Structure 1
Amino acid sequence: MTQKASVAEPDYARVASDAVDTLLSLNAVLVWRDRPFVYTTGWASPVYVDCRKLMSEPKRRQLLMDHAANMIHDRLNGKIDVIAGIETAGIPFASWLADRLSLPMVYVRKKAVGWGLNAQIEGDLPPKARCLVVDDLTTDGLSKIGTANALRRAGATVSDVFVVFNYDIYPQSRQAFKEQGITLHALATWADVFSQTKARSYFSPEQAKVIKQFLADPIAWSARHGGADSLPAFARSVP
């Protein structure tokens, strides 16, 4: 793949640190107050990571997207033909990454509009294109796998997904990615968040306690707070 500029081998500890520092500085890690957050997949959670705040912060955004470009160049150089963003949050991140890597871009709708093989895909997708799926974050991974399979049905090859933030707490989703032949790449995870929040006193002691309970068993926590209560539905939903 052609690069716009030379890239250095990433220092992944620094990448994660910069990503977390950015999210915390932007107050993008939100904690529940009166009621839990309920994700589109149905899971209830005491926390929500709002990566979309990066859109409004050019310097922070540029730093993290430079890290992202270096990561993809380091891990997938020459193995990607097209960047594929997921509607809607993945579109800006895919655009910035495609620009840095001088690659074509498409975006994938969550549902098909109209008819035909490419009814879910906007932009020109070359035959047998090797696509990198891009989104802002992932919780259980369902939408990423759905997008990968939509691209595959259109004739593309998909073996990698990139997100800014990976919750990395649903073990069954890791298995689903493995079964689908997909490797997930992320700038940071919840483990990285907790490496910085204590020193900043970002969470109160009570908030930290609740979040740790959630991260230890997100499915049980969800069930106790009115959200989805099992992952079999997730497994059955994967195309």
Structure 2
Amino acid sequence: MKILLVEDEANLLSTTSSYLQKEGFVCEEAPTFSVAEEKLTLYQYDLLILDITLPDGNGLYLVPKLKKTYPDTGILIISAKNSLDDKLNGLDLGADDYLTKPFFLAELNSRINAILRRRKFSGSTSVVFNEIEVVPNAMVARVHGQELDLTKKEYDLLLYFLTNKQRVLSRENIAEHIWGDLSGSADNFDFIYTHIKNLRRKIVQAGGTDYLQTVYGVGYKFAAP
């Protein structure tokens, strides 16, 4: 899951980003309104964690822009202001939740997971496609009830494909979503092929169908044959 963290306090930005990455998220950082606006224009995220008070703008202005372009992206507002008006304004604009500073990182993680479950999986505890089942809370994937031995990247790829089934995903989009900013330093996307090849093999060995279709010259699609 890919998160954009918008926070102008350098220490909090670094600490929170490191914690979320240890929790298994791809976390990109934006210390200002302008950087956040640019990233939201260029990339798609599963969740936006947004500080309201930024040195160069009001973070709330980003909410309607994001909802217009990517309505499925979750939004968690964080602010030092414990104001009912701020909370109501954020929720009315389309935010999913509101957290007041200071907060515990464990609580932030719980809020994030709750939003992602509601947004991506409509409240379901698992994602099912024919014989394949993924349980996001437990980071477990099964085929015909048999648990797959997947690496973190293979699991992320499978979940990304399942939540975008029937859609053609370019190699660039896959790399950027799973690896974040680090994908920009890659000379080519051969590493994606390696991970997808391994994912295919593990699904088939467990008795599953190979739903990963190569769209030559473009990327991949997860769909029934």
Does the alignment reach a TM-score above 0.5? no
Higher relative contact order (CA 8 A, sep 6+): 1
TM normalised by structure 1 equals 0.27
